[in-house]
Amino acid sequence: MTDKIRNKKIVIIGSSQIIKDHIRVFNKIKLNIVAIASSRLKSKNCKLIAKQFNIKKVYNNWSEMLDQELFDGIVIASKIEKTYKIMECALKFNKPILVEKPISLNSIQIKKLMKHKNKKIIVGYNRRHYESVIFLKNYINKIKEKTLINVNIPEIQNIKSIFSNSIHTIDLIHFIFGNLKILSNKKIFNKKKLLGFQTLFKSKNGHLINLTGNLGASDNFSINVYLKNMKLTLCPLEILTIYKGLEIKKPTKFISVKRYNPKVFKIIYPKDINKKFKPGFYKQASEFFNLMNNAKTNINNAKIKDSYNNILLCEKILGRL
């Protein structure tokens, strides 16, 4: 690897906790962070991050940083409400951009960004890079059989957090099973407060996907695929457990009934590199590095269009925010 390829300069916009996870990986792959700025003027947290990771330059104004610095790529991990405006400006520099999902909570805004000529964009849907997710996607594509899928979204906060946080799971449904058509969509309320929703999709390959959104449920995010005598479960999403057949447990003096439990056939865990960093971030940063070097990038990378499709689907289910 030549010094020219290795010494890629990036600037960062953002000062939240997630930016620290990004920086740890950038340092691992030897990206040169020349400056950092927050989406907020005079952010104290931005200065603390710069000190912690020995970033030489800190700007009070992100726009000023983009105008004054020389860089090969831009990383945007700002508040969602401010990301759209930053992206509008950043795209004009025609440099590779790694931007945190979902870019905006409004599909119309994201669609406007899709029209820009700069296509060197990776949107930070890092779960696409999990070994568990890649295995499941490849397996589904290989067998070419229609399946039944149950997806659980137990978002603990509010509707807005479904657009900003649960959107990861929406993206995985798109990523693994392809384009989706809504067959039915039902919501349940208590005194005008949304308790949950149930949406049935059909994918382009004929998979039936039942999505349950249960606000505040004592549950975990999960994707469950049922195929003949097998069950493939992402729960948590970092780990894929494959069940095959049943394990029969006889009654005991403590439990008087016979039990039929799914039998574990195989478990796909994150690789060691994903144990050192936030899962998916190392692969995602490596793809960003390749983008800056005009090298071949992975087709699994999320693009602006993917973010548009994800938010648009949320709007169809829950209405526009």
Q: Which of 266, 225, 260, 223 is nearest to 244 (CA)?
A: 266
Can you give the CATH number for the domain in which 114 is found? Answer: 3.40.50.720
pLDDT at residue number 157: 73
Dist CA 208 CA 206 (whole Å): 6
pLDDT band at 2 (very low <50, low <70, confident <90, very high): very low
**Domain assignment present for 181:** yes
**Separation CA 170–CA 97 (nearest Å):** 22
The pLDDT, as a whole number, for residue 314 is 96
pLDDT band at 272 (very low <50, low <70, confident <90, very high): low
| Per-residue pLDDT at 6 | 62
How confident is the model at residue 274, as a pLDDT? 65
Nearest residue to 208 via CA among 170, 232, 180: 180
Q: Does residue 108 belong to any structural domain of this protein?
A: yes
On whether residue 97 sits in a domain, the answer given is yes
Mean pLDDT of 305-312: 97
47: containing domain: 3-126+277-304
Q: Do 116 and 215 belong to one domain? A: no
Q: Output the pTM of the full model.
A: 0.92
Is 316 within a domain?
Answer: no
> Mutual orientation of helices 17-28 and 281-292 as an angle, nearest 10°?
60
Residue found by looking up tokens 């971030």 in the block: 281
Least confident segment among 42-51, 73-82, 305-314: 42-51
| Mean pLDDT of the 119-139 span | 95
pLDDT band at 3 (very low <50, low <70, confident <90, very high): very low
CA angle 21, 23, 25 (to 5 degrees): 75
Residue 278 has pLDDT above 70, yes or no: yes
* 171, part of any domain: yes
Q: Write out pLDDT tens, residues 30-45.
A: 999 999 999 887 788 8
Average pLDDT, the chain: 92
Residue 270: DSSP 8-state: P
The fraction of the chain above a pLDDT of 70, given in percent, is 97
Q: Which of 28, 67, 302 lies closest to 13, judged by CA?
A: 67
Structural domain includes residue 58: yes
> Does 319 map to a domain?
no
CB-neighbour burial class of residue 125 (10 A; exposed 0-12, middle 13-18, buried 19+): buried
Per the model's pLDDT, the better-predicted residue between 205 and 74 turns out to be 74
Tell me how far apart the alpha carbons of residues 257 and 252 are, in angstroms, rounded to a whole number.
Answer: 8
203 with 240, same domain: the answer is yes
pLDDT exceeds cutoff 90 at 130: yes
CA-based nearest residue to 226, from 154, 136, 300, 127: 136
Q: Which residue has the higher pLDDT, 13 or 252?
A: 13
Do 240 and 287 lie in one domain? The reply is no
pLDDT band at 1 (very low <50, low <70, confident <90, very high): very low
Place of tokens 């069950």: 231
Q: Exposure pattern of 155-171 as b/e (b: 16+ CB <10 Å)?
A: beeebeebbbbbbbbbb
User: What average pLDDT score do residues 81-108 get?
Assistant: 97
Count of domains forming the chain? 2
Residue 263: give its domain's CATH number. Answer: 3.30.360.10
Mean pLDDT of 276-290: 93
